[in-house]
Amino acid sequence: MAEPLLKLENVTAGYGDAVVLHNVSLELPENGSLALLGRNGVGKSTLLLTIMGYTQMRSGRVLWRGQDVSKVPPHKRATMGFGWVAQEREIFPSLTVEENLTVAARPGPWDLAAVFKMFPRLNERRRNMGNQLSGGEQQMLATARALMTNPALLLLDEPCEGLAPVIVDELIAAMKLLLDDKRIAIILVEQHTEIALELTADAIVLERGTVAHAAPAPVLAKDTATLERLVGLRVAATV
Ligand SMILES: Nc1ncnc2c1ncn2[C@@H]1O[C@H](COP(=O)(O)OP(=O)(O)O)[C@@H](O)[C@H]1O
Ligand SMILES: [Mg+2]
């Protein structure tokens, strides 16, 4: 059997003395998609940070195509094909949209033309400075910038958070294109549970830093009892 793209084995990790994640295991195949759900503060962002190598791991292993990368620093993981969009977006305010994109570029199918096709709004704003963008445009730019590194894995941390419904629709359409394309694996942290489960193949739910539930996304989407218990039901139709 082929090695999964990403595998976490009993990962316990956190910040300094504070252990946030306990014995987290998961697997993601090449071009797979995983929704990462759970209430506020359960460790979703910490899990993405741990995959990137930004936290302190106490025990367990992170494997990339079968290779143990637990001790590989974040910048090195980025060159190996890990792509991450921080919850805070972190675009460069004094660079233009186009400069924000090209500064991160690595060779591959995702170039300026490809990301502008996916996010036409960024093309219209290409000469604008990073600090002249709306929240939605910043999210698009942060996502497009990660794509410009041509990653094999894209980690998206609440991309729709705080955005107007019309922008949320645009972002969801872009994520759908990305996932249908099946050339990239995605882990999506999303408060809009129904949307996340519609987009992805698999799902895990965290509770207090551990994996409380794992299921195929379409199965979990119908499991209202589990969703109510671990996530709290949110009505996606209103977004
Ligand atoms: N830099 C940090 N240092 C110490 N604790 C942190 C830090 N960032 C987050 N935490 C703690 O880790 C826990 C999980 O946070 P987080 O991963 O952001 O949760 P989520 O993304 O699910 O809302 C919380 O208790 C939070 O206070
Ligand atoms: Mg978070």
Q: Kindly give the confidence (pLDDT) of every residue in the chain, 239 residues in length, as a single tens digit, with 9 standing for 90 and above.
A: 689 999 999 999 999 999 999 999 999 999 999 999 999 999 999 999 999 999 999 999 999 999 999 999 999 999 999 999 988 888 999 999 999 999 989 999 999 999 999 999 999 999 999 999 999 999 999 999 999 999 999 999 999 999 999 899 999 999 999 998 878 999 999 989 999 999 999 999 999 999 999 999 999 999 999 999 999 865 544 44
Strand segments, DSSP code E, in the chain are 6-15, 18-28, 33-37, 56-64, 67-68, 82-85, 153-157, 185-189, 202-207, 210-216
| Residue of 46, 54, 156 with the most ligand 1 atoms within 8 Å of its CB, for mutation | 46
Establish whether residue 42 lines the binding site of ligand 1, counting it when its CB lies within 6 angstroms of any ligand atom: yes
Establish whether residue 88 lines the binding site of ligand 1, counting it when its CB lies within 6 angstroms of any ligand atom: no
Judged by DSSP in three states, 194 sits in: helix
Cα(50) to ligand 1 centroid in Å equals 12
Judged by DSSP in three states, 6 sits in: strand
DSSP class of 113: H
Closest CA to 204 of 51, 47, 35: 35
DSSP per residue, 85-107? E-TT----TTSBHHHHHHTT--S
Which pLDDT score, from 0 to 100, does residue 202 have? 98
Residue 33 CA to residue 5 CA, distance in Å, equals: 11
Residues 6+ apart with CB under 8 A from 198: 217, 221
Please give the number of the atom of ligand 1 that sits closest to the Cα of 158.
21
Residues 6+ apart with CB under 8 A from 79: 106
Please give the number of the atom of ligand 1 that sits closest to the Cα of 46.
17
DSSP class of 122: H
Euclidean distance between the first and the last CA atom of the chain, given in angstroms as a whole number: 40
Residues 6+ apart with CB under 8 A from 44: 36, 37, 38, 157, 189, 206
Alpha-helical regions (H) of 23-164: 44-52, 74-80, 97-102, 112-118, 120-124, 135-148
Establish whether residue 205 lines the binding site of ligand 1, counting it when its CB lies within 6 angstroms of any ligand atom: no
